[in-house]
Chain A
Amino acid sequence: MTDRNLMIVKLISLALVVTAMIISGVQFYNHRNFQEEVVKGPGVTQVKKLSDYFEPLKGSINDCNIYILDSGVPGGTAMLIGRSHPEEPAGNLATQIFVENAKLTQGRLIVVISANQSASRVTRPGDAYPLYYTIETPWGDKKFRMGDRWTSPLDSWPDPEVYVHYPSGQLLAYMDIRNFNRTWPGRDNGMITEQTCYAFMNLIREEKVDIFVDLHEAELEYPVISTIVAHQNAADIAGMASMILTSTEFRIGMEYSPKSLHGLSHREVGDHSDAVSILLEAPQPFLDRVRGITDEKLLLTGQDEFVMMAGKYGLLYEKIDEKGWPIDVRVGRHCSTVLSIFELWGDFNPGKEVLITGVPLYSEIVKNGTGYYFLDPSKARPGDIYYE
């Protein structure tokens, strides 16, 4: 080959690579900077930032919104967080339903839609996740970012050889230093995920949170699924909620937070604050390793023939059929479980009630769809729109 032809081939290959890089780069940039609109609901009385509780986070990617719904009537303080793991969308969808619909008649409710913003702005390398998903609403499609389990390496790098959890000293997998649900209670001089948990612990103490609930989803191959995981200080509430919900709405279990497993919210929030801590898990076939095509359809319908096949061979810890596990079912489970837990909290702690109205139950969300409960940003006053 002549030098001239070689040069032409080099230029063509470079041009193709640059084109691919621009196309993918624009997509990555848009995804990382995509803003979801949240309309301040009738019950929201104040919107703070996480950096109000830990100054060094100010202006960082994890300086998320803190929605406070205060009835003005003395009672308890409940806290609800979503997007601890942003690849589990039922959490952020349920929390947004609370922000846009809940009204408090007693006590206070603190809601966080995107606890780990950084992880919500990246998808898992090598797993071909969709960048976005859309939820149908009466006023059009509402678009959301799909995220990952771990904080973006752009915001937390490098990972250690082994992650030594603080303060327990327990050894965990290296990448879990970027896992929001392995870095509780956090530390002020740690990596950004640890600092984020540290800020949340400050919030929990300063706002005197009584009960803390963290929303998650899990793969069907994972034994901790369709369940309420409770710190020992929340066992009575979780056990009662499990029994009531199983007899009236849907089957949900209850299990204790292991005392020697550190870094998780259901363990550390209870150990390091006065709040009782609970974590909810809903089934999400999208996360199963044996799944088929990893697309938006699977994320929203939870229907997958390969996961069903795994179920036929007894490899799963939750049932699945051709109906799958649709997003409305998963969001509905979270909303009903949270409402039941907060109601029981009041029953067990007279004078510290947190009474919530306006939030739909499981059967209503399954009937009307998740999108039915989102407010239309185009009809909201500009000052009532916040961005996640």
Chain B
Amino acid sequence: MAILNSIISICYYLISAFIVFVLAKSIIKTKNIQDAILYSVMLMPFILRILRLK
């Protein structure tokens, strides 16, 4: 079970990195200011998790 959880945990980090990539791409592409700010704020928890800070 511990091994399975480790695999899922690694997948979670990969998914977080993918979401960061998608959000960053959305920030660059969007023409809407509110969306840009919203995407920027949304980046925070994912980056903090990838860095294993929170």
Chain A residues in contact with chain B, CB under 8 A?
1, 6, 9-10, 13-14, 16-17, 20-21, 24-25, 28-29, 32, 122, 125, 154, 156-158, 189-191, 195
Contact status B33-A6, CB under 8 Å = yes
SS of B interface (majority): helix
Interface residue? B17 (CB, 8 A): no
- Check B44 against A21 for contact (C-beta < 8 Å): yes
Q: What is the interface of chain B, defined by CB distance below 8 A to chain A?
A: 1-2, 5, 8-9, 12, 27-28, 31, 33, 36-37, 40-41, 43-44, 47-48, 51-54
A189–B2 touching, CB < 8 Å: yes
How far, in whole Å, are A125 and B8 apart by their CA atoms in the complex?
A: 22
Which B residue sits closest to A16, measured CB to CB? B40
Cα distance A158–B15 when bound, in Å?
A: 13
Residues of A within 8 A of B8 (CB): 157-158
Is A28 within 8 A of B48, CB to CB?
yes
Contact B5 A191, beta carbon cutoff 8 Å: yes
Contacts of A9 in B (CB 8 A): 33, 36-37
B1 and A21 within 8 A (CB): no
B53 touches A28 (CB 8 A): yes
CA–CA, A189 and B6, complex, Å: 12
Bound-state CA distance A156–B54 (Å) is: 12
Residue from B5, B33, B44, B52 with most neighbouring chain A CB atoms (10 Å): B5
Chain A contact surface mostly: helix
Give chain B nearest CB distance to A24 CB in angstroms: 7
Picked from A20, A32, A125, the residue with its CB within 8 Å of the CB of B44 is: A20
Q: What's the minimum C-beta distance from B36 to chain A, rounded to whole angstroms?
A: 5
Decide: A157 and B40 in contact? CB cutoff 8 A: no
B2 near A14 with CB under 8 A, answer no
Cβ of A21 and Cβ of B2 under 8 Å apart?
no
By the criterion CB–CB under 8 Å, are B40 and A13 in contact?
yes
* Complex CA distance for A151 and B43, rounded to whole angstroms: 24
Q: Knowing A24-B48, A157-B9, A158-B8 touch, does A6 contact B31 (C-beta < 8 A)?
A: yes
User: Once the chains are docked, how many angstroms separate the CA of A1 from the CA of B36?
Assistant: 14
Q: Which of B1, B31, B43, B54 contacts A17 (CB 8 A)?
A: B43
Quick one: given A9-B33, A28-B48, are A158 and B9 in contact (CB under 8 Å)? yes
User: Is there contact, CB below 8 Å, between B36 and A6?
Assistant: yes
Residues of B close to A158: CB separation below 8 A: 5, 8-9, 12
A341 nearest CB across to chain B (Å)? 36
Chain A residues with CB under 8 A of B48: 21, 24-25, 28
Closest Cβ of chain B to A116, distance in Å, is: 17
Query: Whole-angstrom distance from the CB of A60 to the nearest CB of chain B?
Result: 12
**B27-A190 in contact (CB<8A):** no
* Contact status of A13 and B36, CB under 8 A, knowing A6-B31, A24-B48: yes
What are 8 A-B contacts with C-beta separation under 8 Å? A6-B31, A9-B37, A24-B54, A25-B53, A28-B48, A28-B54, A125-B54, A191-B1
**CB closest residue in chain B, given A10:** B36
B40 & A189 in contact (Cβ 8 Å cutoff)? no
CA–CA, A139 to B22, complex, Å? 53
Smallest distance from the beta carbon of B3 to chain A beta carbons, Å? 9
Tell me, in angstroms, the Cα distance from A13 to B1 when the chains sit together. Answer: 42
- By a CB distance below 8 angstroms, the chain B residues around A154 are 52, 54
Check B5 against A157 for contact (C-beta < 8 Å).
yes
